[in-house]
Structure 1
Amino acid sequence: DIDAAKAQARAEELNIAKWYPSIQEMLAHEECDLVDVVTADHLHFEPVMECLEAGKHVISEKPLSLYIDEAEQMVAKAEEKGVHLAIDYNRRFAPGYVQARKWFDAGAIGQTYYLDMKLSQGGPASTWKGEYYLLYELETHAIDLLRWFGGEIVAVCAQMAKPRQHEAREGEDACYTSMAISFRYETEVVATLLASWDSDFIHPIEHLEICGSDGEIVVNNVLSRATLMKRDNQVVEEYRPSIFRAEQLAFDGTFALRMAALVDDLLTDRPPAPTGRDGLQALRITEAIVESWKEKREITVKLD
């Protein structure tokens, strides 16, 4: 922390042996292999670049950046230095999505036809940080999941609304708190996303349905369950996390699962998915969604 007193107090509170007032000092005194950058969204670029330049593996909080040019520089720097840049899309490691991916990779639903997702939860006005904050703060997770299961997204079209604009703080733009977004993929696949901060945490906040030629996979509420339904004989297979695995029943546990997977990837020299390039592509899609709403038309997404 740049506030040395605050850094020291926090370190003592959490029983952390060492603390530093700057990235530079930490890199000069620590033989670290991996750095986790959890600064505010608009402050990822400098610490990520400094750590990559020093030859350290890095995991960044999402979004990778608020600006595409910064994200492109981060990805390029990691490749230049021969180190790994990962991003904390922790929902990929939630038990329901892990099981869904196993079914998907096993070909349980055949050829993918469409994806339908909802990610909607409470978003008090006190947390708003700009008109499109919902997209960058929360829905970047949904975008990542839609890419993970559906492949590359090539075009988007968006509708947005501000039903709670009266709650905006004086002098600040109200946030678009409800969005309906359609996606078109490289293949003959389409997807929809209902994104909102206008519900609450009591209502089921998250739902993903993947429909294929042989059946469907449905994930409800991240942690609660995943269901596989077959077309021909309607055999249903349902997965529920064990009640004896506390880390599987609390959303915070997905961060530990994500970090464990990252460390295992690094120790076995596997690219630590999701990568910085995944973060870059999610940001390109996010920017295209904003452009679509502003221009009231479908927008093509840049691909590498």
Structure 2
Amino acid sequence: MGKIRIGVIGCGSIAKHRHLPEYAANNEVEIVALCDKVEERAAELAKEYGARSYKDYEELLKSDDIDAVSVCTPNYLHAPISIAALAAGKHVLCEKPMAISEEEAQQMITAAENNNRKLMIAHNQRFVPSHVRAREIIESGEAGKIYSFRTSFGHGGPEGWSADGKDSWFFKKEQAFIGAMGDLGVHKTDLLRYLLGEEFTEVAALVETSAKKGSTVDDSAVCVLKTESGIIGTLAASWSYVAKEDNSTIIYGEKAILRLEEDPAYSLIVQYQTGETVKYELGGIQTNESGGQSNSLVVDHFIDSIRQDTEPAISGAEGLKSLRVVLAALKSNETKKFAEI
């Protein structure tokens, strides 16, 4: 097999800072085409990467010299573009949240199956070294029975990060569908499912728009979650953490407490019931603050799954399970009752 030939659809910040540099750094990849409805944006990046540029994704998908695409568009376009790409015989790496409804997500999964193509959702938190190590500790039984958790993901908002700043699609309900809970919360529902090795069964949520004037989506959400075995905890997602990003998780077990990405020096601290504390320096998590992004490993995993013909770790089915928690949280906020997942 020669190099995997890549097209990137949507040339905003996530493509510019994550997908394109990571594809460029992978020796098995050739970036051949870029697409954005803002023509100059695609053209400028295409020049940098020696690729063709398109304004219309349907034109890009007609090309026979593209094996796979990244879908880095506003949320409401994730499903239609992914489905079209899969139908055109391309493998798809899609940004999160994978879709804006369960029906759309299911259609994406079906399209991948029907066309025998890979569909991966870009949940990068599963590849963070501290998260991988924490899962091993939990899985091995070293922390004993897990009782509860708390996790939060917040920063000052996408205007400091998005290509369009304050005018970004992130703030427009018709394009984003969901705000901080979809941008950040879905990362954490995926991470917790991965760490705990269990599915969530119930959620109660409060979802508010308090920090971003003129926004039609949520910017602060707090959820109470319960897993099938009865592990309970809280998840906060917010665009109102103005001074510093918070991307931390604490797992409370029978024999140990695991503190993930809480301490600036140690990405994982395990405090044992015996009084012993183990501090791990495993390299940090990617943040939207640190201009230079470290490799998230998402692209490398996607390319490996194509080359080795294996199921990606975060398949469409996995992406849907993480999305369901977010959809249930929205339902809970509307009904003011617990929602079953």
Same fold (TM over 0.5): yes
- Amino acid paired to 2:179: Y
Aligned length: 292
CA 1:252–1:75 in 2, change beyond 3 Å: closer, same or farther? farther
SS at match of 1:187: coil
What is the aligned counterpart of 1:260 among 270, 288, 300? 300
In the TM superposition, 1:21-40 aligns within 5 A as 21-40=55-74
Residue 254 to residue 77, structure 1, CA distance change in 2 (3 Å)? farther
State whether residues 49 and 74 of structure 1, in contact with CA within 8 Å, keep that contact through their aligned partners in structure 2.
yes
State TM-score, norm by structure 2: 0.75
User: What's the CA shift for 1:111?
Assistant: 2.3
CA distance in 2, matches of 1:235, 1:262: 39
Residue 99 of structure 1 aligns to which amino acid in structure 2? R
Taking only the aligned residue pairs, the percentage that are identical comes to 25
SS in 1 for 2:141: coil
Consecutive unaligned residues of structure 1, counting only runs of 5 or more, are none
What is the CA–CA distance in structure 2 between the aligned matches of 1:282 and 1:251, rounded to whole Å? 28
One-letter amino acid matched to 2:116: G
Deviation at 1:289, TM superposition (A): 0.7
Q: CA deviation at 1:222?
A: 9.4
Check if 1:129 corresponds to 2:172.
Answer: yes
286-295 or 124-133: which moved more? 124-133
| Distance change (3 Å), C-alpha of 1:16 and 1:201 | farther
How far apart, in 1, do the equivalents of 2:294 and 2:126 lie?
Answer: 8
Q: 1:262 to 1:73 in 2, by over 3 A?
A: same
Q: Which AA in structure 2 matches 1:214?
A: K
CA contact (8 A) 1:36 1:60 kept: yes
Q: Is the 8 A contact 1:94 1:251 kept in 2?
A: no
Q: Which amino acid aligns with 1:218?
A: R
Shift of 1:86: 0.5
Q: Deviations over 1:6-38 (max 9, x none)?
A: 366324541323233434433433333321111
Q: Deviation string for 1:173-211 (max 9, x for gaps)? A: 4x4433221111111211211222222242x51210112
Alignment match of 2:246 (pick from 205, 209, 229)? 205
- Higher relative CO (CA 8 A, sep ≥ 6), structure 1 or 2? 1
Give the alignment's Cα RMSD to 1 decimal. Answer: 3.0
User: After the TM superposition, which residues 1-304 of structure 1 pair with which residues of structure 2 at under 5 Å, given as runs?
Assistant: 1=35, 5-6=39-40, 9-123=43-157, 126=166, 128-130=171-173, 132-150=178-196, 151-164=198-211, 168-169=213-214, 173=216, 175-202=217-244, 205-221=246-262, 225-231=267-273, 233-241=274-282, 253=293, 256-301=296-341
Contact 1:136 1:286 in 2 (8 A): yes
* Structure 2 unmatched ranges of 5 or more: 1-34, 160-165
